[in-house]
A and B are shown apart, each in its own frame.
Chain A
Amino acid sequence: MRTWLFRNVLRSPLTMPAPKPSAAALAELATRVDQTARQRLGRSLAIRQVDAGSCNGCELEIHALNNAFYDLERFGLHFVASPRHADVLLVTGPVTVNMKEALERTYAATPDPKWVVAVGDCGRDGGVFAGSYACVGGVAEVIPVDLHIPGCPPSPMQLLEGLLALLQAQ
């Protein structure tokens, strides 16, 4: 294992240069997040991911943010295990009726100030599942949303561009 680690120290990193924050995301944040809240953004942010009914496709791409190519943590963004430790809720899915209360409770358990990012076409408006008896619709139907990152699923690059906008929102 030691040779293994040594070899990797000598290898050049796979990590890609940082993308520019998404202009659409910056614009959305500018209209939704007020000045004082924006001053608190732009620092290291703890993210709690909540699957509120996704098909798990969005989760796969959120996971990918942690791989060596995207390396989310270099930007001071990291995933935490509890909403009590979170600044940002990253919510996926068309919010199923059976998950609505769990999402509301997770939101309530997150200390202020907090921001909500709705991921995927489902998180925006229910996507392909819109109109079902078992789905509420987009995340904004249940809790206030500050930023949408659409896509089915959004690629890790699109996710990164959206999240970087949170860091630059001041």
Chain B
Amino acid sequence: MSVSVLQTVLENGQAVAAHRPWPRVIVTAETWTVLGSGLAGGAWTLLGLWGEVGWVHLALHESTSGFIGVASLACPEGRFPALGRLHPPAQRLERAISDLVGLQPVAAPDTRPWLDHGRWPLRHPLGNARAPTQPLPPYRFLPAEGESLHQIPVGPVHAGIIEPGHFRFTANGETVVRLEERLGYVHKGIEHLLSGASLEQAARLVGRVSGDSTVAYALAFARAVEAATATEIPTRAHWLRALMAELERLAHHCGDIGAICNDAAFALMLAHCAVLREQVLRASAACFGHRLLMDVVVPGGVARDLAASDVDLLRALVTDLRRQFAPLVELYDNTASLQDRTVGTGFVRPVLIQQFGCGGPIGRAGGRAFDARFTSAYPPYEQLGFAPLTRTDSDVNARVWLRIGEVGQSLALIEQILDQLPIGPVRVDVSRSGQAGEGMALIEGFRGDILVWLRLNADGTVARCHPRDPSWFQWPLLEAAIEGNIVADFPLCNKSFNGSYSGHDL
């Protein structure tokens, strides 16, 4: 690995002692802006940007060296230099900081609220919360001007069984010239509920930030807690966590492949993929007691061990899924009418993917070889044979094929895990040193990399916890993907992204 420039820049700051496993450094406003320029220049990728009373925090990743670090800037005056002005991916995060914490990004290009729709009984719930004294001005959508343009507002309540959000299309005939998203409808105040919560309560909450990624979130939370408290968990627990994470990926990738094809009016694929998905969920319930595996990964290990007989059940599942999946892949490959809809649709330029640090299958289908399982190699993945799959065509078809490849990969990983599963205990008590501590974790969910940062109080409760969903860096690219496509292809593009509303809105 090459020398890290990011590390050198951060060494100018003042390191915070109790932050693990990566360093957190208090920086000056000048360094803050240097970091912003580095992000804009593509030297580093934005991993997260969040605030608390008096502070903003910025997590960065340097892909050449693999270095990860957090920079913190004090905001005694309630302001900080906006990074969004240099680096657009920071804009929505800064709008959220302004809504939730009340810190103002100075010279921000977009000062509209984001999560706050002017309806909450509180302003700045994570800052100096107080009741609103005056209503927020009406939300201004960005103007789109030109002859014969018309607008199509969609949502928040959508036509299918999906989450709520608002989409404002501006179209010229059938062609979309601009899509603007407005999210925040499912904001539940999770970060506020987390402050002061016990570890047990907090684990349940973080496991419900986005229900479809419950394993990945619970894992990220558990690893952040274990980092903050320097807790070593038993080896078997690492392996069982990875097993569950792969079952989760398998179930949702199967579901997504079917759902994308269904939105291209090829319902047969959905019918068959839904059967595969159901088989995975039933196996999960049989092995771990919950179909979606909620609350099984906990700080200190896992709440439930895998019985010896269940190993055979999972092996049979893998064999069975392989047998059923192969002809489905062939069907996709041989159905020209289906590919006619997916090839070339919803193309996202790879430079945008890099700029936004877009993760998961969308990022990898657009040439970004980032996969937290590989890049930050948490156990047991460093002992498993696998490397991220990538493509460069970056359209709906590429996202389908990427998921198809990852289904095969997850099946192979499950087999490897079952072959090498160590024996022993699966849970320890989290160390209670009686000291405050901070931890962070980066975990690959089926949708992309999930970041959880937290600070624990000396009594073991959560002081502040910030979960960052991969969707933050994917939703903005959906706006780019649909440009120049026809309105009728929006569901297809949207499904191929499958962003989380709940994970984003928090």
Contact = CB atoms under 8 A, between A and B. Distances in A.
Q: Do A and B bind each other?
A: yes
A170 to B, nearest CB: 27
A138 B249 CA distance: 31
B271 A152 contact: no
B192 A128 contact: no
Contact of B188 (A4, A68, A101, A135): A135
A82 B327 CA distance: 36
B157 A50 contact: yes
A68 B501 CA distance: 27
A99 B211 contact: no
A96 B184 CA distance: 10
Interface centre among A50, A53, A94, A101 (most CB of B within 10 A): A53
A83 B314 CA distance: 42
Contacts of A68: 271, 274-275, 278
B192 A54 contact: no
Given A1-B335, A59-B162, A81-B160, A133 B209 contact: no
Contacts of A101: 119
B212 interface: yes
Interface residues of A, number: 48
B107 interface: no
B304 interface: no
A10 interface: no
B192 A69 contact: no
A94 B502 CA distance: 12
Interface residues of B, number: 52
Contacts of B208: 55, 57, 128-129
A27 to B, nearest CB: 26
| Secondary structure dominating the interface of B | loop
B474 interface: no
A49 interface: yes
A30 interface: no
B169 to A, nearest CB: 18
A24 interface: no
A102 B189 CA distance: 18
Given A53-B188, A55-B209, A96-B188, A133 B277 contact: no
Given A57-B212, A79-B161, A94 B188 contact: yes
Contacts of B162: 51, 59
A5 B502 CA distance: 38
Given A63-B161, A153-B292, A69 B278 contact: yes
Contact of B161 (A53, A62, A128, A133): A62
A50 B294 CA distance: 23
B159 A93 contact: no
Contacts of B119: 97-98, 100-101
B502 A134 contact: no
A51 B43 CA distance: 40
A28 interface: no
Contact of A64 (B190, B192, B271, B278): B278
B210 A56 contact: yes
A85 to B, nearest CB: 11
A168 interface: no
A61 interface: yes
A53 B443 CA distance: 25
Interface string B139-176: 00000000000000000110111111000000000000
A67 interface: yes
Contacts of A57: 208, 211-212, 214, 292, 294
Given A64-B274, A132-B192, A49 B185 contact: no
Contact of B278 (A50, A67, A93, A135): A67
A102 B185 contact: yes
Contact of B163 (A51, A128, A135): A51
A132 B197 CA distance: 13
B164 A58 contact: no
A61 B285 CA distance: 13
B315 interface: no
Given A69-B278, A99-B164, A132 B211 contact: no
Interface in B237-290: 255, 268, 271, 274-275, 277-278, 281, 285
Interface centre among A50, A61, A96, A131 (most CB of B within 10 A): A96
Nearest to B209: A55
Given A59-B163, A81-B159, A134 B274 contact: no
B186 A54 contact: yes
B349 interface: no
B78 interface: no
Nearest to A59: B161
A82 B292 CA distance: 29
Given A56-B163, A133-B121, A102 B156 contact: yes
Contacts of A14: 275
A17 to B, nearest CB: 16
Nearest to A94: B188
Interface in A37-66: 49-64, 66
7 contacts: A56-B500, A59-B162, A96-B188, A133-B120, A133-B121, A134-B125, A135-B189
